[in-house]
Every structure is written in structure tokens, then in C-alpha cells.
Amino acid sequence: MTKIVIDGENFEVEDGLSVIQACEESGVEIPRFCYHERLSVAGNCRMCLVDVEDARGMSPKPVASCAIPVSEGLIIHTKTERVKNAREGIMEFLLINHPLDCPICDQGGECDLQDQSVAYGHGASRYEQDKRSVENKDMGPFIKTEMTRCIHCTRCVRFSTEVTGINEIGAIGRGRDMEITTYLNKAVTSELSGNVIDLCPVGALTSKPYAFSARPWELKQIESIDVMDAVGSNIRIDTKGNKVMRVLPRINEDVNEEWISDKTRFFWDGLSLQRIDKPYLKENGKFKKVSWEKAISVLSEKLKDSKPNEIASISGDLSSIESIYSLKKLMNSLGSQNTECRQDGSRISGSRERWLFNSKFSGIDDSDGCLLIGTNPRFEAALINSRILRKSKESNYSIGLLGKENELNYGYDFLGDDPNTIKDIINGSHPFCSKLESMKKPIMIVGQGALVGNHGEDFLNLSIKLANKYNFLSSDWNGFNVLHSAAARPGAMEIGFLPGPEGKNLDQIIEGCNSGSISTLFLLGADEVCLSDKSDCFVIYQGHHGDNGAHQADLILPSPSFNEQNGLYMNTEGRVQESVRATFPLGEALEDWKIISMIAEKMKLDFKINNFDELREEIFTLFPDLLEIDNCIEGGNPKELMAEEIKEHIFYNSVENFWLTNSIARSSKILCDRNEFSSNGVFKI
């Protein structure tokens, strides 16, 4: 610890902090534009000037507090006349070329420059010459630019280099002619690019889809959880009336730090498009609106007429634990064992350490090497990818990829896309083994793309064998990780929404629908299932978007999307988090548990769900581990099991198209537009 004095008060702070961090920790505010905790220090805005005094006396001129470290006995002055003058001077210079267009600027109300000029600025302008104006840049469909407003803090440039790993944004020219731009005005391609909107301290980079739609003080803010991928990013949903206006990240050091992916940031317009608002029944090949009574009675007739083993259900990627649990209750009560949550056909099973991200995301920071198997983290979990990228910049950090070759934004050793290569790695004959042997705390990330197909489980067992062979598993380190790409999957696995002992798995259910051995199929928001030729099978779709699932259905029941009902989600590392209702359900939609309870009532089944709180209580009683909200469920080290020969096993890409992975994203116009951009940033024609 270092003893310092700030404005006459004594403080003790950690060693190695910069003065601005020390002041922040001690509760002394220092204005800044270019400094950001998660980016490298640039020290170019000069707004954070302070006076420092040490054994040699007072500093000859104010110093940038972001760029100097604290030292023992340092005396910091943040409120002297000289500091005040310096800040006012800096502010005056910054405002020379900054337009006075706050009334038409989207940043208004949440603008660092606006706030700080109120607090630290000069009362009046002395500048009478011409202001500079800068051409706007085209940065793609997400980022709106108004470059005259730019104050050249270079936060976006550093973000693009350090966090996304794709060096796309830069500063050309110099002095007063400096301009922030992408290379020749090309659209930015990163999956995290939207974060520069939050980073920009002024209104130079703002959100294009959100432009001119609301002022921050009109919005109601609800803290919730993202379901676009299995990372479980902490988000803030901003609503106006019953409409979601935008989605912003919340800080959670263990999960998303301060970022969210572009898919999370821009899915919101999909919430008001393609929605299912009323129950629909298919009659003579056409959907007809029906009442809830009619829908439920048709449904219960169908369920009554079907034998238990003719009923099957598949849960979707966006459903909460409560929704899936109530469906499980219904299926148990009907005696059906054909329950399935692994919509992509992966064959994970068993105790939770076999399918969780055991090292936790923070474990990536402690690791000294990484082996990716059948995964493309850039698409499956963009924020995890950014953590790997950060590690990849360290010397001696090597990354191996066994699986489909993908364009990752860091260098890696490609070990081929033949699953049988894993045997060479296990028996030590592969050239990459020498690197694995030298790693003390490596992590392995197995994607769902490696676990699809009849030998998926065998491959999982082989991966665990590999983990035991090297240092992936030890008494104080668990580097065996399975990466999920669907938000609902870990939760559904935890409550065991899986085929029973005699139940059918996904492939068998689909086969059964086509052959006629399954007569009723219940899809709970399952949109990735493709029933090519479903013959006489009666398909019920309970969900919120008119997407693949609804198109194949005979009966559609409207239920709210994740932001319209409360629910628990477990992310890929086993962290249970609560998603909170931000808006009300549309039309006649009823909450998932309510629909199930109506069915149970109508069919006079042996269970009853009275209200949501009771349902959640019941889940907590049965699965007490879930009670640890916001904490990770621990799994322990996975045990080695015998694996059969993997024949004709191949790797898939679990996420082929990053932008359109679920029904909300596919309904979003913004994401569909973004999808039109090819990788080099021009429109496909």
C-alpha cells in the first residue's frame, strides 16, 4: 500500500495505481476524456491535470494524472487555482472546434463534454474565428458519425486495436486536421464495434438505429440479462412506454466487463416485428385466429388422444429456467420421456462439470495457453473471444485450434479439422503436444460444433481424457470448458430437460415426427428445429416470434419474449442470473407458466402452478444450487469415462451466421441489414 495525500486528506491506496485511479478510489473526482480503465493510457486530452508535490517540491506545471503512478508520500492537489485554470483552458481549447449543436445531438443528456463543461468549463467563449468542420465517415449500419463533434480522445482507436483485435479505426492527418476514420471509409466489421458508441465521450459516434428516437431522461431503465448468446451479459434495457428503445451494457467484471456484442446491442427492433399476438390454429393449411379457450381445448384433446410415448417436446434457446421447468412438469405428468433441450443435436449429458465452462471467464485471464476444439469463439461468444485475444498478446501464450478453420482475430496453431487428431494429441504424437506439455494452467474450450452427432458424447469423453492427460485438470485448476451458444441450454441441462431412460433424443424425435411414431410435438420457443416432412404429427408452438417454429406449427400459442417476463438463466459458466421484465407482453400473450398451468387445469392433470413465485420456490427446493443468484454453480473436475471409437464424426460450425442466430435476431431489421454487409464491409449486391 502507498500512503498519499489528496487535497489535504490522507489516503492509503494500492501500489502501482495511477494518480487518477487513486483519486477515484478515494472518492475524489477528476474529469477526463481520453482515459478509460479498460484501455491503454493515451494522455492526450489533458483534462485530468492535477498538481503533484513530492520531496522535490511542487511540480513545475500541472501533470496528467492518468499518466503518472502514485509514489509514497505523494501530495496531490486537485482543487488549486492553477489546476482550475488549466482545466478551464483545456476545455476552452476543446470547445474551439466543437459545434454548439447539443439540442440536435443524440449524446445530449449523457455527454461527458456537456457535463464537464458545466462543471469545469469557462463561462463564456472568447473564440470568434471560423470553426473547423470535418466530413462524416461511413462506419456501417450501427455507428452514426458526426465527426465535427470529435475531440480526438482516440478511445475508439484504442478500443478497436486492443479489445476487438481488428485494427479498423485510426486517426489520419495531424494537428487540427486530425480525423478519426476507418480505412477509406469502410464499415467496421467487428462483432463488438457498437461499444465505441458508449466509449465516445461526445456525440461523434452515436447509435444509428437509435438516432433521434429518445432522450436519456425520458427512458425507464431496467437491469436485466442478455439471451443472445450463452455468455449472459449484464444489460440495461431502456424503455419508453411499452417499447424497448435501446440496450446498453452493465458492468460485471466476471462476465461481460463493460462490453456487449453488437447482436445484444441491436436486437431490440426485432422485439416489435414479426410478433405473435394471438393464438392461431391451422385449418385447411391456413392459420386462423382463435380464442385461448379454443386453443387450449384443441391442445388438450390432442394430448389426451396421444399415448405418452407419442408426445415429444423440444425447448428453445431463449426460454428461461421457469418456462422449461413448467413444460417439464407437464411432460412428466403426461408420462412423456421425449423431452429435449439440445436443439442443435449436440450430445452433452451427465453431471454439470461435463458441460460447463469450468474455469469461468475470469479463468481465461489466469491461463497460460488455450486449446480450442470445434469452436469459433468469435461467433459463439464474442466477449469470451475478446478475453482470449487479450491473453494472446502476451508472449508465450499459444492457442491451438482443432476444428473448422475460422477467421479469428488472433494468431493460432491450426491442428486440422479431423476429430481423430484428438487421439494423436492424447497419445502425445502430435507436434502441438510439446506446447501443451509446457503449459501449467491451460484451458480447453470445446464448442457445441464438436459434440453434434452420434459420437458427440464419445468425443466429449475423449476431450475429458485429453484434459486429464495434460495440465488442464489439477487439484487447484479446472481448465476443461464446454462453450454453449444458446442462452437457455445450461439452465435446461441443469434442470434435466433431457430424454428420459426410454426417451427419444432430437434426431429420434424429428425422425418420429416424419414417420408418424410421434403424434404431438410441443415446441417451447424452439426455432432451430427443422421438420422436413412431418406427416400427421400435430405441432404446437409456444413462443413469441413468427419464425421457423411457428411456420411448422399447427397450433400457435403466444407467449412473451424474455424481456417481457421474469426468468432465471444460467450462463455457460454456470452463473445463475435473473432476467427482469422490462415491458409488458404484447396482445393476448400469456406467460409460459400460465399457459402450461391452463393446460394442466383443462386436462385435470395432477399438478397445479398457482403463481410465479410458487413456481420459482419449487425450482429452488428441487435445485437448491440455483439459489446462488449471480454466482457460479461449481462442478468439480470431470471424471474420465470410456469412449467408443469415433467413426464418421465431423466438426460443425455451431454458429454459421453470427447475426441471425435466434428468432428475435432474425426478426430484427437492423441485424438483417448488418448481415447484408459482407466481411470486407461493402454491401452484397
Partner 1 sequence: MTVKRLDINQPKSFEFSNEDLTLINDTIQNYPENRKQSAVVPSLYIAQKRAGGWLPEQAILKVAEMLDMPKIRVLEIASFYSMFNLTPTGHHFIQVCGTTPCWLRGSDQIKKACNDLVGKEGEVSEDSVSWLEVECLGACVNAPAVQINEDYYEDLNYESMTALIKKIKGKKDIKVGSQVGRVSSEPKKMEKNNA
Nearer to partner 1, 91 or 139 (CB): 139
Q: Minimum CB separation from partner 1 for residue 132, in Å?
A: 9
d(CA 632, CA 343): 24
| Helix, coil or strand: residue 549 | helix
147 binds partner 1 (CB under 8 A): no
Residue with cell 400459442: 557
Tell me the per-residue interface mask from 162 to 181 with partner 1, x by CB under 8 A, - otherwise: ----xxxxxxxxx--xxx-x
407 binds partner 1 (CB under 8 A): no
Q: Minimum CB separation from partner 1 for residue 517, in Å?
A: 57
Tell which one of 18, 107, 117, 182 touches partner 1 (CB under 8 A).
182
Tell which one of 55, 100, 118, 184 touches partner 1 (CB under 8 A).
184
Q: Minimum CB separation from partner 1 for residue 170, in Å?
A: 4
d(CA 84, CA 78): 8
Q: Minimum CB separation from partner 1 for residue 685, in Å?
A: 22
Q: Minimum CB separation from partner 1 for residue 411, in Å?
A: 10
Q: Say if residues 38 and 249 touch (Cβ distance below 8 Å).
A: no
Alpha carbon of residue 560 to chain centroid: 21
Size of the site for partner 1 (CB under 8 A): 16
Choose the stretch contacting partner 1; rule: CB under 8 A; options: 112-120, 161-169, 354-362, 566-574.
161-169
Nearer to partner 1, 171 or 672 (CB): 171
Q: Minimum CB separation from partner 1 for residue 274, in Å?
A: 38
Q: Say if residues 380 and 541 touch (Cβ distance below 8 Å).
A: no
Nearer to partner 1, 182 or 637 (CB): 182
Nearer to partner 1, 167 or 213 (CB): 167
DSSP string, 49-103: EEEEEETTEE-SS-EETTSSB--TTEEEESSSHHHHHHHHHHHHHHHHSS-S-GG
Q: Minimum CB separation from partner 1 for residue 378, in Å?
A: 17
d(CA 615, CA 609): 6
Nearest to 522 by CA among 330, 664, 666, 333: 330
Nearest to 643 by CA among 432, 420, 481: 420
Q: Say if residues 78 and 27 touch (Cβ distance below 8 Å).
A: no
Nearer to partner 1, 166 or 451 (CB): 166
DSSP state of 229: S
Tell me the per-residue interface mask from 450 to 469 with partner 1, x by CB under 8 A, - otherwise: --------------------
Q: Minimum CB separation from partner 1 for residue 174, in Å?
A: 5
Nearer to partner 1, 410 or 620 (CB): 410
Nearer to partner 1, 174 or 604 (CB): 174
183 binds partner 1 (CB under 8 A): yes
Nearer to partner 1, 177 or 536 (CB): 177
d(CA 648, CA 418): 10
Q: Strands 9-13, 538-543: parallel, antiparallel or unpaired by DSSP? A: unpaired
Nearest to 385 by CA among 408, 403, 407: 408
| Helix, coil or strand: residue 202 | coil
Footprint of partner 1 on this chain (CB under 8 A)?
Answer: 166-174, 177-179, 181-184
